[in-house]
Amino acid sequence: MFRREDERAVTVQIGAVLLLAIVFTALALYQVNAVPAENGAVESEHNQQVRDEMQDLRNAIRNVGTSGGTESVAVTLGTQYPARTVSMNPPDPRGTLETTGNGTVRIDNASYVGSSDDYHGDPATMIEGDHATTTLVYEPDYNEYPNAPSTRIEHGYAFNDFEDATVPLTDQGLLNDGTIRLVLLEGALSESGSGAVSVDPTVLSGPSDAVPITAAEGAGNITITMPTHSPARWNETIGTTFDAGESDARVVAYADGELRIELADRAEEYALRMARVGIGDGGNRSDDYDVRRADDDSGDGGRSPAYHVDWQDPSGQSGVDDDRCDADSCTVVGDSVDLSMTTDETAADASVEYAVNDTAVGALSSTEGRTDSSGTHGITFDVSSDATDSDSVLVYTSSGSDGDRIRLDISRESSFDVTITGTNEPVGENETLSVTAEIENVGGAADTQAVNLTIGDGVGEVDTEPVELAPGESDTVTLDWETTVGDAGTYDATVASEDARETNTVDVGEHSPPTASIDAATYRTSGPWWWPSYDVIVDWSASDDDELSGGSVNEVRLYDSSGTYIGSREISPSGTTDSGRVQVSDVRSNPDGWTAELELSNTHDIQDTDSETVTAS
């Protein structure tokens, strides 16, 4: 009877192959379509974030140029894609924040109202000559959002710059209802990467009081010439006629990167305010724009209040990170921080007021007080239990007609700082090198981290120890490197936590080997002639610069004329020189032509050998 062959196994195999093909096709489609789409969404979200941060930077520059002092703004240059298990990401997006090179601002056809006696400082410096300045631009480097805009800050105006269009992010701050506010930027800045960078605009000159200006007689209308990379944006916001855009102003020319704005001839005076703000490596303090009205009532013709108020540096407390703390900003890792204000001219028993801009982050122990005899007063800022990592709050103090502020950044992550406190140098090869380090948790959360000792020059990680620390707590660890013969040299020894590292240079000395010597190797015959026996006697000696004892191998061995091992005797050398005799007795074969070998190792386990032919005595 004919039977048909069973084809079920073949069917299962075909099904498995088809299933694998479907899986691989799905993965390929996910990599080609879904991954770029998801990464594009990450890049778009980051672009929104950096746009907001650039607006904050523009506002900080404007605030400093209006009120003086320093502000700090973080700009996140890039971002990270989500981790993937079965697909791949391109390199994480990066970005660049940089100044665009020096340009000049010039005010022509203007004169100030009144005489120089009406001012402290020279108002003529504000309307004569060229004023150096620069602008800022953020350039993203995305993978899936290739047409993302650059974000620019020019003369108090922030906007997105696409290839064929611009989109304003803020109002222009140059002209407003007859007030000309020129905030000149000085310095060079160039930061690239994917992390966040801190930009700290600081006033270098001014801000001036408002100086009334009018068109100089017979000179035509006042014009302002300034550098720009986007003339179309200024055309649109200022306008090209006096009745479009900003009133009483129009853009009249653009050439070689310079835009010229004309102000209308009008009965009212224009008010000119100027300041120079440093950014990046920006410049030195000057009094070019320290122009004050002489009839101002606020002390010294309006140049300054009766006394200045400043926050003191809160560093040195257990609740702050000293490496990220000064009088302008401080990272708080504990539950509270003590703050102290002071006056530069001792103002005893003066009224002091305090405030915070976000009570959800924390609260002050008091909102008012009076200075002591040294002109200082202190309060405590208590961090809210609802505060989270990276929260930030501004704390203000004011007294008299002056004030100051400090930014407190809340940290609720661990941060293990590393300080190498010593080593057990000098050591030699084949000895243990020990490195001792203090590990301190300067962060705001308890954690356990592995602390490692790594030796350079290709040696690698040699020891590790887990360290558990609460916030503000520290511990001392000792990590060891068991050196071997041949490790002599100079090395970088690095102790590292997950957050920090410190490196010291260490030296491993070289040990010389011992000297092994067989002084004599003889045999003598005993017993009857028909059944003789032989005694082999070996005299040895040894010397070393260090201790002979403690080595791993110290023995005398015997080999016959064919190199076959016969036997051995252990020896126990000690001191720096030693000698002795060993005997192998009752050998029944003739030892003539045998070899005696001495192998010797010192306390560092460095070895030496010697051999001698056994001869008749």
Per-residue model confidence (pLDDT) at position 25:
67
Per-residue model confidence (pLDDT) at position 440:
92
Question: Of the segments 239-243, 371-375, 435-439, which one has the largest average pLDDT value?
Answer: 435-439
* DSSP 8-state symbol, 499: S
| φ/ψ (deg, to 5) at 368 | -155, 165
* DSSP 8-state symbol, 70: B
Per-residue model confidence (pLDDT) at position 228:
93
Between the CA of residue 59 and those of 154, 157, 178, 340, what are the distances in Å?
12, 9, 21, 27
Per-residue model confidence (pLDDT) at position 317:
86
> How large is the average pLDDT for residues 218-246?
89
The predicted-structure confidence for 443-452, as pLDDT tens digits, reads as follows 878 899 999 9
Stronger pLDDT, 194 or 358, i.e. the higher one: 194
Per-residue model confidence (pLDDT) at position 589:
82
> How large is the average pLDDT for residues 506-510?
89
Angle (CA) 241-242-248 rounded to 5° is 150
The count of other CB atoms within 10 Å of the CB of residue 477 is: 18
Per-residue model confidence (pLDDT) at position 419:
95
Q: Which of 608, 612, 613, 611 is nearest to 542 (CA)?
A: 608
The predicted-structure confidence for 561-604, as pLDDT tens digits, reads as follows 888 898 899 999 998 899 999 998 888 888 888 999 999 988 87
Per-residue model confidence (pLDDT) at position 305:
54
- What structural domains does the chain harbor? 33-293 (no CATH), 309-410 (2.60.40.10), 416-509 (2.60.40.10), 516-616 (2.60.40.150)
Which of helix, strand or coil describes residue 455? strand
DSSP 137-185: EEEEE-SS-TTPPEEEEETTEEEEE-SS-EEESS---SEETTEEEEEEE
Q: Which of 175-184, 254-263, 305-314 has the lowest average pLDDT?
A: 305-314
- Looking at residue 293, its amino acid is R
> How large is the average pLDDT for residues 538-560?
88
The predicted-structure confidence for 292-321, as pLDDT tens digits, reads as follows 887 654 444 344 456 788 899 999 987 888
Distance (Å, whole) CA 277 – CA 101: 15
> How large is the average pLDDT for residues 24-35?
61
217 pLDDT higher than 90: no
118 pLDDT higher than 50: yes
Those residues with Cβ within 8 angstroms of residue 599's Cβ, 6 or more apart along the chain or in another chain = 516, 553, 554, 555, 557, 607, 608, 609
> How large is the average pLDDT for residues 497-508?
92
Per-residue model confidence (pLDDT) at position 296:
55
H or E element in which residue 380 lies: strand 376-383
> How large is the average pLDDT for residues 277-287?
82
With bands split at pLDDT 50, 70 and 90, how would you rate the model's confidence at 9?
low
Per-residue model confidence (pLDDT) at position 303:
40
Per-residue burial over 346-358, b = 16 or more CB atoms within 10 Å of its CB, e = otherwise? ebeebebebebee
> How large is the average pLDDT for residues 238-244?
86
Stronger pLDDT, 112 or 512, i.e. the higher one: 112
508 pLDDT higher than 80: yes
With bands split at pLDDT 50, 70 and 90, how would you rate the model's confidence at 2?
very low
Per-residue model confidence (pLDDT) at position 304:
45
86 pLDDT higher than 70: no
The predicted-structure confidence for 516-537, as pLDDT tens digits, reads as follows 999 999 999 888 888 888 889 9
For residue 104, what are the β-bridge partners? 132
Q: What is the dihedral of CA 243, 247, 248, 251, to 10 degrees?
A: -70
Per-residue model confidence (pLDDT) at position 68:
76
Structure-token match 């971002």, residue found: 79
Percentage with pLDDT > 70 across the chain: 93
The predicted-structure confidence for 452-475, as pLDDT tens digits, reads as follows 999 999 999 999 999 999 888 999
Per-residue model confidence (pLDDT) at position 1:
46
Stronger pLDDT, 567 or 27, i.e. the higher one: 567
The predicted-structure confidence for 359-397, as pLDDT tens digits, reads as follows 889 999 998 889 998 889 999 999 998 888 889 888 888
For residue 281, what are the β-bridge partners? none
Per-residue model confidence (pLDDT) at position 184:
93
556 contacts 598 by C-beta, under 8 angstroms: yes
